[in-house]
Amino acid sequence: MSPQLPPVAPAVTAELVAALSPRLRKRLDSGIAKLADRPVVRDGAVARIAVDDDTDLELHAPDGAVRGADAVRCGCLLAPDCLHRAAAASLAPVAEDTDSAAPQDHSAAEEDAAQAPETATPEQRAAVRAVQLATSAVLEAGTDGAGAVLQAELLRAAHTARLAGLHRAAATAVSVVTALRAARAADPAYHLTDLAAGLYDVLSVAHRLPSASGGELTALRGSARQPYRPDGSLRLYGLFSEPVLTASGYAGAVTWTADAEGRLYQVSDVAPGGAGRAVGAADRTVRIGDTALTHRELARAGLAVSGATVSPTGRLGAGAGVRAVRAPGVGWHEEPVARLWAEPVPDQIARALAGGRDLLFLDVTLTGTAAEAAGDCLLADCSGVPLRLTAAHDDPALPHRDNLRLLSAARGTRLRVVARLTPAPHPRAQLLAAEHPTRVDTRLDIGLDRLQGADLPTTAAAPSGSVPVPVPASASASASDEAPIHLLRRRVHQTVSGGRPVLALPGDTRADARHLRRSGLATAAELLTDLHSAAADRAHDVFGRLRPTDPDRFARAWLAAAHYTSELDRTLCLAAWTP
């Protein structure tokens, strides 16, 4: 995916792909690959691609994104019915809805909720069914088979869902397309677990929504806009800043603050852009009130806000009535922010797994590093719990990996850190901020500040390359001690990668099923057996010909297996964090 192309609205991509002839649809993926190698030039709101020496393709994005099919223009002889327009739209990032980030006042939010029906409307049922069918087709094909045509069908279904008021399904379906494109482009930022989670959420919403009512239906519908509510006057203390870099082409920074009661608030600056914007956003002035603080400065200072408006997730609004001035900050060991680290770690984990904030405030002792498939992780002891701290981003423009590598040499150093929980059967989190290993009362934003070898304790030698140290036996349970849920989880993930055909290959699954039953996981054994059965279910007609596959049955079997592994992982995660 070219970061130079402006984001394209889902409905535009769906429209352009749908307009192709069957012959051109078959050539769409190869057309995208050819276009990806062509140079792109940005001229203000126009991105221009040189298709060949005599033909240019233009994407017009006056507000930062392409919002109409007529904004994609090609100079070839076959235009507007050419392959190039659809290929360019499929290559570009997917634009977010124009109203998704618009503030919504308190009265409007209440009015919308009051007018919402108590059960799903026929239009919503039809829309969510379209999303379900398109997602099932993607799951059946796997990442290798889910090319631009299947992606466009899912984008079309997402657009229909958004028009029907199903904003959660629409947003998650778009995120699935973004992850599919990253997977097919071998983007280093792609993670199989993220795509699996997106598919699970879409299919789960589609399965539950038709019979939901009341509060459950409201949650399944989601909201198009963040309902900002008045919150009076706030005295905030800076905690840390983190860069934002999404696969959908957005970048910037978010600064986290806390009030005297320990409630968290965010000040964000996210817009279309790449890694360069993520790096530079930390030195931009925060967009709230008249303050001249940058994000980097706010992370270490304070803020006094009057007329504050706040979203349900804690994001501070920047309306005309908001006033903000700089105020003194406090250290992490000082009140009132020190109370964030005083909360017992198991309580923090339980809240995160229940859908609350996923930030963890931990006191750790660094113990070394360990090699993993995705890169080395930092090992630490957290009150007797062996913890793995990983990088939040792998982009080389951001210093996450380099900082973790240097910190791994400071073994024995005790630090206060902020991390984001990664649900797993073992303690695992992304390191976001930490105390400086040698400078008292100095904080590090792991994704923005670069450590140097001279910053390490004098007893620690800066590592020359990645030299993992042995992991203590207590740091990870042996395979024989772990619940063998991986036998089911790997099939769930294999489906996402290879689709139904991978699980339909001849093979004996009875050994895995027996292993699960012997470990007390009889339900997992049944789900594994049913998943393989659904994948291999190809009945013959009276003439001996194979009937078409049943994507619905296969998707239901996969959803059941994914739900089981997700819930069991939550339970194992909470248990793992308990000393």
pLDDT (0 to 100) of residue 97: 61
pLDDT (0 to 100) of residue 288: 85
pLDDT digit string, tens, across residues 14-29: 999 999 999 999 999 9
CA–CA separation, 190 and 177 (whole Å): 12
**SS3 assignment, position 412:** coil
Q: Which of 390, 408, 391, 413 is nearest to 400 (CA)?
A: 391
For the chain, the average pLDDT equals 87
pLDDT (0 to 100) of residue 482: 56
pLDDT (0 to 100) of residue 547: 67
DSSP 322-341: -EEEEE----TTSTTTTHHH
pLDDT digit string, tens, across residues 201-252: 999 999 999 999 999 999 999 987 667 788 889 999 999 999 998 877 788 9
pLDDT (0 to 100) of residue 467: 39
Question: Considering the entire predicted model, what is its pTM?
Answer: 0.81
pLDDT (0 to 100) of residue 99: 42
pLDDT (0 to 100) of residue 479: 35
Q: Which long-range contacts (CB under 8 A, 24 or more apart) does 11-14 make?
A: 11/155, 11/156, 11/159, 12/66, 12/67, 12/68, 12/69, 12/71, 12/72, 12/89, 13/86, 13/89, 13/90, 13/94, 13/151, 13/152, 13/155, 14/152, 14/153, 14/155, 14/156, 14/159
pLDDT (0 to 100) of residue 226: 67
pLDDT (0 to 100) of residue 538: 66
pLDDT (0 to 100) of residue 460: 55
Q: Which residues of the chain have pLDDT under 70?
A: 1-3, 97-117, 225-226, 459-483, 538-544, 546-548
pLDDT (0 to 100) of residue 483: 65
CA–CA separation, 221 and 163 (whole Å): 12
Q: Which of 112, 155, 129 is nearest to 9 (CA)?
A: 155
pLDDT (0 to 100) of residue 72: 96
pLDDT (0 to 100) of residue 459: 63
pLDDT (0 to 100) of residue 540: 63
Name the amino acid, one letter, at 150: L
CA–CA separation, 447 and 440 (whole Å): 20
Q: Which of 342, 338, 360 is nearest to 351 (CA)?
A: 360
pLDDT (0 to 100) of residue 554: 93
